[in-house]
Amino acid sequence: MYEDLGLKVGLEIHQQLDTARKLFCHCPTVLCTDEPQFEIKRKLRPSFSEKGKVDQAALAEVKKGLTFVYQGYDSVCLVELDEEPPHPLSEEAVDTGLAVSLLLQAHPVDEVHTMRKIVIDGSNTSGFQRTLLLATNGVLTVEGKHYGIPTICLEEDAARIIETRGEEKVYRLDRLGIPLIEVATDPDIRTPEEARDIALAIGQVLRATGKVKRGLGTIREDLNISVLEGARCEIKGVQQLDLIAVYIEREVQRQITLVKIRKELERRKASVGKKIIDVTACFSDTKAKIIESTLRKGGKVLGIPLPGFSGLIGKEIQPGRRLGTEFSDRAKVVGVGGIFHSDELPAYGITDSEVAAVTQMLKLEREDAFVLVADEVEKSRKALEEVLARAQEALRGVPEETREPLPDGNTRYARPLPGAERMYPETDIPSIVLTRERIEDIRAELPELPHVKIKRFTTQYQLTSEHAAKILNSGYEDLFEETQAINLKPTLFIKAVDILKALEHEGKYIEDEHELRLCFEKLARNQIVKEALDDILPKLAEGKKMNDITMETVSMRDVEDMIKELVAENMKTVEEKGMRAVAPLMGLCMKKLRGKADGKLINDILTAEIEKIVSK
């Protein structure tokens, strides 16, 4: 089915590196959890590229008129604040990037040049992100199919967004400058599932270096998606790999519906003008709360006619999202709360007769639609200009744009796709020559490739290849090997992986790996039972400590004590029935211990306990 739709997907994978220092300064690469120690405020200035052009995406951001607030700690320096030139590159990051390049059979460049990429959302204090091309023309082979890896780059991570307070965007500087490896694929991917598999495979290669960070947000994917007659859209910053397929399915649904809408608009000879009309008079004694309060504050209701759009604005393009939602997202960029469109009216207290009045005032016919915004006049006007621009794009089908992933698998408009003007050379950093010797040293020390590791896991630990792949995809393969040194049953580890994955799906993650290690140690020593994992792992994800948790859950010794107690309480039954007392007592034990201890284990302990008494 996806083949008929001409689906093309390319990925860009960004992986944080676990290096000793940041890419361009000597600060540590750790995120802080405590309250920030200082805050500074900056306004965005539109920067020009070398060619003197202002990027389209840059302009869209300037339009928002935002102030940026940067929060920092002692652990950041003047480089993150853009008050001091960058320090020389982290060689460790370059070497790690080169190892990834060689693992992906890419060709390292002769000289590494640092470039500046304009970033205007405030996530970089300098207004640009530094990026270095390390290698080109790699290839990844999965299930016999080859996927082109055109580029492998090293980048500095951006500051992380904390919140938006009205016109202020708040960022934290701890993440700014952490090295990222960016692996891009050609648009060779043809189905949503394939995209997920490729993302997983690249994740395995990255982790093979042993130099990557782990946890939510440490690996982020950009998905470039288009279908036949559609357009390239980039979903930026997907953090949950298991949602990749869903984002692609939903984007395909969006694009094919937008193409259908375009065809219907063509058939109706629909058009989009520039007229914005004051329709406040239609609402002189309105009961619609939003409109009423706007008018009381001196605002107006402005409207636009959309000839030929009737019934199409309300058309669903993703589950729960309509073309009207896209209009509304665009309008919200200038700071209004939202829009009203004729396909959803009467509603929100707007009556039939008010709709009729607007229809008459805008001189609409049967197939025509309208959109209203109620706010301060200037804001409403700007909002409707945005809606007109989006409606204009609907006449052409799918607009090229960057989209933001929503937690439910849908996406919304973020900004136009950035143009080619956004890269120019960084003059503060000298280029570095990659010597043949350096490349060969790295090649000689290359880590085990993922498919080799899977094979080794199947023989060394007697795993099925499914289980081996599952462990590798979980990202916990190193921890798995550690647990094998203390003889933890692989099935127990896999059970834990299932629980961890389910938690990650809910956005929960165990930050402190040491606690996880302690948990596996206790499990291997039979100090806790496997049933307790369901209890313990979510608590670790909440930030609790292993030593505090085991107090609350049932330990192996507790299980023995409880069974002994139960046997003592039912001594009469044991004396009467002998070994046949196991069955009724087992029922009582299970009542007390279900979910806390393994049934077979309880049975074994109980049988042993009764045997002791009977044989006396």
What residue ranges bind Zn ion (CB under 5 A)? 25, 27, 77, 79-80
Say what angle helices 450-460 and 465-474 make with each other, to 10 degrees: 130
Nearer to Zn ion by Cβ, of 429 and 567: the residue is 429
Tell me the closest approach of the beta carbon of residue 22 to Zn ion, in angstroms: 6
Nearer to Zn ion by Cβ, of 25 and 195: the residue is 25
Cβ proximity of 469 and 143 under 8 Å:
no
Nearer to Zn ion by Cβ, of 27 and 301: the residue is 27
Find the farthest-apart pair of alpha carbons in the chain and give their distance in angstroms, rounded. 101
Distance CA 533, CA 516 (A): 11
Nearer to Zn ion by Cβ, of 80 and 393: the residue is 80
Tell me the closest approach of the beta carbon of residue 429 to Zn ion, in angstroms: 15
Nearer to Zn ion by Cβ, of 213 and 321: the residue is 213
Cβ proximity of 115 and 155 under 8 Å:
no
Q: Is the peptide bond before 346 cis (omega within 30 degrees of 0)?
A: yes
Tell me the H-state helices in 230-366: 244-267, 289-296, 323-332, 352-361
Nearer to Zn ion by Cβ, of 81 and 582: the residue is 81
CB atoms near residue 387 (< 10 Å): 26
Nearer to Zn ion by Cβ, of 77 and 357: the residue is 77
Tell me the closest approach of the beta carbon of residue 14 to Zn ion, in angstroms: 20
First to last CA, the chain: 73
Tell me the closest approach of the beta carbon of residue 450 to Zn ion, in angstroms: 33
Nearer to Zn ion by Cβ, of 79 and 115: the residue is 79
Nearer to Zn ion by Cβ, of 80 and 515: the residue is 80
Nearer to Zn ion by Cβ, of 8 and 22: the residue is 22
CB atoms near residue 75 (< 10 Å): 16
Tell me the H-state helices in 445-570: 450-460, 465-474, 477-485, 490-505, 513-524, 533-541, 546-552, 556-569
Tell me the closest approach of the beta carbon of residue 432 to Zn ion, in angstroms: 20
Distance CA 163, CA 188 (A): 36
For the record, the structure tokens of 247 come out as 């984002």
Tell me the closest approach of the beta carbon of residue 120 to Zn ion, in angstroms: 22
The sheet carrying 160-165 orders its strands as 38-43, 67-72, 168-172, 160-165
Bridge partners of residue 432, in order along the sequence: 112
CB atoms near residue 456 (< 10 Å): 14
Q: Which residue has the tokens 């007592």?
A: 585
Q: What angle do CA 22, 25, 26 make, to 5 degrees?
A: 75
Q: What own/partner pairs with CB < 8 Å and gap ≥ 24 does 415-418 have?
A: 415/57, 415/60, 415/61, 415/121, 416/56, 416/57, 416/60, 417/57, 417/232, 417/233, 417/234, 418/55, 418/56, 418/57, 418/118
Tell me the closest approach of the beta carbon of residue 74 to Zn ion, in angstroms: 11
Distance CA 41, CA 467 (A): 50
Q: Which residue has the tokens 């559609």?
A: 230
Please report which helix (H) or strand (E) contains residue 148, including its range.
strand 145-156
Tell me the closest approach of the beta carbon of residue 76 to Zn ion, in angstroms: 5
Tell me the closest approach of the beta carbon of residue 80 to Zn ion, in angstroms: 5
Q: What angle do CA 28, 178, 133 make, to 5 degrees?
A: 140
Tell me the closest approach of the beta carbon of residue 68 to Zn ion, in angstroms: 18
Collapse the DSSP code of 347 into the 3-class scheme (helix H, G, I; strand E, B; otherwise coil) and give the result: coil
CA distances from 55 to 61, 155, 498 (A): 10, 20, 45
Nearer to Zn ion by Cβ, of 79 and 119: the residue is 79
Tell me the closest approach of the beta carbon of residue 79 to Zn ion, in angstroms: 4
Cβ proximity of 453 and 472 under 8 Å:
yes
Nearer to Zn ion by Cβ, of 123 and 328: the residue is 123
Nearer to Zn ion by Cβ, of 82 and 316: the residue is 82
Nearer to Zn ion by Cβ, of 82 and 193: the residue is 82
Tell me the closest approach of the beta carbon of residue 125 to Zn ion, in angstroms: 11
Tell me the closest approach of the beta carbon of residue 110 to Zn ion, in angstroms: 29
Tell me the closest approach of the beta carbon of residue 173 to Zn ion, in angstroms: 9
Which residue in 507, 503, 461 sits closest to 481, CA to CA?
461
Nearer to Zn ion by Cβ, of 80 and 329: the residue is 80
How would you label 496-509 residue by residue, b for 16+ Cβ within 10 Å and e otherwise? bbebbeebbeeeee
Tell me the closest approach of the beta carbon of residue 26 to Zn ion, in angstroms: 7
